[in-house]
Chain A
Amino acid sequence: MLLGLAGLALAALLPAGAPQAQGTPKEIVIGGTISQSGPLQGIVAPFVKLAKAWEDRVNARGGIPMKAYGKSLPIRFVIYDDKSDPATTLSFYERLATVDKVDVFIGPFSSGLHNAALQASVSHKIPFFMVEGNDPFLFKDPNPWRVTGLAPADKEQTRMVQFLSKLGGLKTFAILARDNLHEKESAKGLAEMLSQAGFQVVYQETAPADTKDFASIVLAMKQKNPDAVVVEALAPPSNIQFLKQAREQGLNPKELFVSHAPVPVIKGLGPSSENMVSMLYSFDGDSADHKEFQELCKAAGFEPWQYSEAGIRYRAYRRIEDALERAGTLDKEAVRKAMWSTDLTLFGEEQMKHDATGFGTDMPYPVQVHDGKYVSLWPIEKGLKVHRFKDGKW
């Protein structure tokens, strides 16, 4: 008993991480959470398999070269189910830091869960790659331990506005956002960018997150007779319900853009989803990155178009791998610095950078439902040929 107590006291006096610094690590441990239950699971649940597929891929080619140790190290993911809940998320990131002793944090889904996870990153000083969190409040305070791959939420629809500007035929827009931080920010940015591009926003409202009846909102939109209707809803079911009622109430816009519309939305609308425009963090192409991304998705059991956020995850894996390789060590300060100074080019045209606050450059691409699945509207020249107006046809 006394010996045990003495041991505990000695352990408490030793600086954290001291034993690791003395030996060569056997592996690189990357830890995070992904919602396997709760309302966010529909958007990200299969990304556990996506991470495993990437782990297998990296390890099959011998791991990541680490100069400081004179060899390559295999990677290992530790991923927990955060139940789409901030408190659960924080407790798991604490566990990842203290029990699993991860070298790098990889983020969960949504800004709300990132906010919870950030606390663990700061208190344990673990480099944190925030995969799917891009709202300004996360970057309000300077914090050297975190970066995100994503551009700020209010710039999220940049490519969509670029596409619409080239498309022509649309003048007036109605925008509905669900009342949460990310959607409001994204909708606000979209409205600003549309106005700057010469479009007119004739209706812009926010509906409470638990709204189940949109008939009155649809009616208010109809009064404005917009050419295009935009629904900024992060996850079903709000968008499913809105679209069902829009159809039923005879809201027949020339263009319909539903910004976060995973497969359940297409299923819930059936053939009425045809020609609905949405967004995906990937586009068709034949670069080596496109091929690798497609193979990863296949290994995870889905097609790239089925999970719009899969592309963000792929970019995150690549950025983390690149940062670790450039750092050449698992020293947390070195890894952190390497994360900030990324300079990768992916998918043939995307240059990965971070600004001074930690925001990245990843933005989604426009897609459209054709025959019950998304097809890419990018590059713009190709998209203009493929795009079809909804023209009020449900």
Chain B
Amino acid sequence: MDGTLLLQLTINGVLLGGVYTLAAFGLSLIFGVSGVLNLAHGEFLMLSGFLVFLVSDRLGINPFVAVALVSPLFFAVGYAFERLLIRPLALRKEHVRLASATLVTLGAALILEDGAAFFSLGTEFEKSVGYFLPTLRLGPLVLPSLKLVVFGLVALLIAGLAAFLKYTYVGLAVQAVTQSPRGALLNGVPTARIGAVAFGIGTFLAAAAGGLEVIHSYVSPLIGLPLTLKYLCIIVMGGLGSFVGVALGGILIGLGESFVGFLNPAWGQTVAYLLLVLVLLTRPTGLLGK
């Protein structure tokens, strides 16, 4: 394997991992604040992808503009999801609450999946926007321009999220609840409302990822749960509650898929789970978990 090929595989892997990271951040945020493993996370990604396709296709507008229009709506969806389905479980014993919440999100995921399949807009099950950008070349290297733009937007969104968490009252409250819900409550933080806000932000991030997914890839009603599992892999590998860990986990999985997929496509998809097992055997709390 020559140097150019190694560099090309690395570029591809980093870009792929970066795209994974956005939705994984959302899942991590929700888990950090509420302790709920939201198995419907990938379904919101899928629904947003469908909506972005619809808006772009039917109204004839640029798909990136459609992402900007559609994904903020999912803040309200996530907020309402928490208020209607997760909050009612809040007063149960901790282990019952977590188990019930996980099952509720699983049920919601299956309903959304079936619903999307049922209403999948005629006979075209999969949606993909036929949008391309000219390929960029850097000497012998190819820079997949569309993925590069998506990666740039993901980086912007993550930077925005980091700034939000660091410099706003709500962001600081989210961090406080993540560190210690009881401590935050004693300091006057409205933890219940912050939980709903975290769900809203997390779902917004999933929706943004879904919109970008339909541009550079495709969405179908069945992609939700497998993607949620991959994001779960990323946040566990990175270390639960660590945003830098999530980024690291995403990039590592992207690199793993890129290199292994080149050598043998049959193992390209399995590498995420092999890496997870490897990391957990050596660092049970994940790469950057405490």
A residues neighboring B (CB under 8 Å):
37-39, 41-42, 45-46, 176, 179, 205-208, 210-217, 219-220, 223, 235-237, 240-241, 244-245, 247-250, 263-264, 267-272, 394
Contact = CB atoms under 8 A, between A and B. Distances in A.
A214 B253 CA distance: 15
Interface stretch (B71-79, B82-90, B117-125, B242-250): B117-125
Given A39-B125, A42-B123, A249-B142, A272 B265 contact: no
Contacts of B123: 41-42, 45-46
Interface string B217-252: 110101100100000000000000000000000000
B144 A208 contact: no
A161 to B, nearest CB: 24
A39 B144 contact: no
Question: B interface, how many residues as a size bin?
Answer: 35 or more
A205 B265 contact: yes
- Which of A212, A215, A240 has the most chain B CB within a 10 Å cutoff? A215
Contact of A207 (B118, B131, B268): B268
B217 A208 contact: no
A237 B262 contact: no
Interface in B100-130: 117-118, 120, 123-130
Contacts of A45: 123
B126 A216 contact: no
B268 A216 contact: yes
Contact of B126 (A42, A179, A245): A42
Contacts of A272: 130, 132
A45 B135 CA distance: 36
12 contacts: A37-B118, A39-B125, A45-B123, A210-B269, A213-B261, A217-B261, A217-B268, A237-B217, A240-B128, A244-B216, A270-B130, A270-B131
B130 A269 contact: yes
Given A205-B265, A207-B265, A267 B222 contact: no
A219 B16 CA distance: 14
B266 interface: yes
A346 to B, nearest CB: 26
A216 B222 contact: no
A394 B216 CA distance: 16
Nearest to A209: B269
Contact of B12 (A37, A207, A219, A235): A219
A268 B130 contact: yes
A208 to B, nearest CB: 5
Nearest to B19: A213
Nearest to A213: B16
Contacts of A220: 262, 265
Contacts of A245: 144
Interface string B1-30: 000010011001000100000000000000
A134 B230 CA distance: 35
B269 A237 contact: no
Contact of A215 (B12, B128, B137): B12
Given A219-B8, A241-B218, A264-B124, A208 B265 contact: yes
Given A217-B261, A247-B132, A268-B128, A241 B144 contact: no
A219 B259 contact: no
A364 B209 CA distance: 39
Contacts of A271: 130
A394 B134 CA distance: 10
Contacts of B268: 207-208, 211, 213, 216-217
Contacts of A237: 126, 128, 217-218, 220
A213 B5 contact: no
Interface string B263-290: 0011011100000000000000000000
Contacts of A41: 120, 123, 125
A7 B259 CA distance: 70
A211 B132 contact: no
Given A39-B222, A210-B226, A250-B142, A216 B9 contact: yes
A389 B129 CA distance: 25
Contacts of B145: 248
B257 interface: yes
A210 B125 CA distance: 15
Nearest to B227: A212
Interface in B9-56: 9, 12, 16
Contacts of A269: 130
A206 B130 contact: no
A240 B126 contact: yes
B116 to A, nearest CB: 10
Interface string B126-165: 1111111001010000101111000000000000000000
Nearest to B267: A208
A217 B118 contact: no
B112 to A, nearest CB: 15
B258 interface: yes
B124 A212 contact: no
A212 B217 contact: yes
Contacts of A235: 125
B117 A215 contact: no
Contacts of B222: 39
Contacts of B117: 37-38
A38 B146 CA distance: 29
Contacts of A205: 265
B128 A244 contact: yes
Contacts of B220: 39, 237
A247 B223 CA distance: 23
- Indicate the member of A245, A268, A270 with the most B CB atoms within 10 Å: A268
Closest 10 CB pairs of A and B: A270-B130, A216-B261, A268-B128, A216-B262, A237-B126, A45-B123, A237-B218, A248-B144, A215-B12, A42-B125
